[in-house]
Amino acid sequence: MKYEGAYLTDGKSLNNWDVFTHEHPEKILDESNGDVAVDQYHRFMEDVDLMISLGVKSYRFSISWSRVLPRGRFGGINYSGIKFYNIVIDALTSRGIKPFVTLNHMDYPQEFENRFQGWLSPEMQILDPVIYGTYPKEMVNILGPALPRISTNEANNLKNSKVDFMGINHYTSYFIRDCLVSACNTGSGAFKADGFSLKLDRIGNVTIGELTDVKWQHTDPEGFRKMLDYLKNRHPEIPIFITENGFGDLQKPETTIKELHDTKRIQYMSGYLEALQAAIGME
């Protein structure tokens, strides 16, 4: 979605971001959209050649849901979209580059948005139901009978299926205030679970970490380690891949080569790699 372009080419349908950026261009800093983007749909072989020149061994990319299933769960498969991704994967593997496929990243068919209001729908749950066939006890305690029922047969099918790996992203961390035991001013909220906790990036004058150019992102290697420890201990049998993290740095076209030798990015990478090493248990 961010780079493919070709937004209505070869049977692709409108996705949520196509509609949003066309209806609300003022919400985007430069009023741009993904209609063309960097036109990776037509120029992906240039990217493959660049990967070869850089010695890249794997490439992570998304499969656009609206390109392969234009009407979501309705309508059928767009085989032109399937063909495109097959060509991309063949181009990578024939050159010794391992494809790392992300099934969904940011965009989905507008039909899904119309029907469910996207991933924010209360009908969406992740991990525990998929892995164990049950909801976390915290969800049960708070939401109780509002949770969709999982039948015994469905639970058994979920538990007997195998999750190959978990891909996790870490952008920033927050302090969390438990509003069950503390006074919180959380606003009205959008879901039944809102109001049970409050996210904070600071407590008094103490911030969770150094603020980057992205004004909601604080660097926090310790939070990264804690997240990995939590998932490793909760799901010890499932391999973990770090699929996204990074240092928030605004694009500055006038940046000089000298300025690119920045210490903050070095400190970020060093701190997060040390946190990863600690989570793995390596000395």
Q: Which residues are catalytic?
A: 244
The contacts of residue 223 (CB under 8 Å, 6+ apart) are 170, 172, 173, 208, 209
What does 220-239 look like in DSSP terms, one character per residue?
Answer: -HHHHHHHHHHHHHHSTTS-
The contacts of residue 204 (CB under 8 Å, 6+ apart) are none
Q: Which two tokens stand for residue 214?
A: 């992205």
C-alpha to C-alpha distance for 24 and 203, rounded to whole angstroms: 35
Q: Which two tokens stand for residue 270?
A: 């060093």
C-alpha to C-alpha distance for 173 and 170, rounded to whole angstroms: 8
- Alpha-helical regions (H) of 2-136: 16-23, 40-54, 65-68, 79-93, 110-116, 128-132
C-alpha to C-alpha distance for 4 and 20, rounded to whole angstroms: 17
**Residue 202 in contact with residue 218, Cβ under 8 Å?**
no
**3-state SS class at 272:** helix
What does 155-186 look like in DSSP terms, one character per residue?
Answer: HHHHHHS----EEEEE----EEEETTTS----
C-alpha to C-alpha distance for 170 and 145, rounded to whole angstroms: 32
Q: Which two tokens stand for residue 220?
A: 């926090």
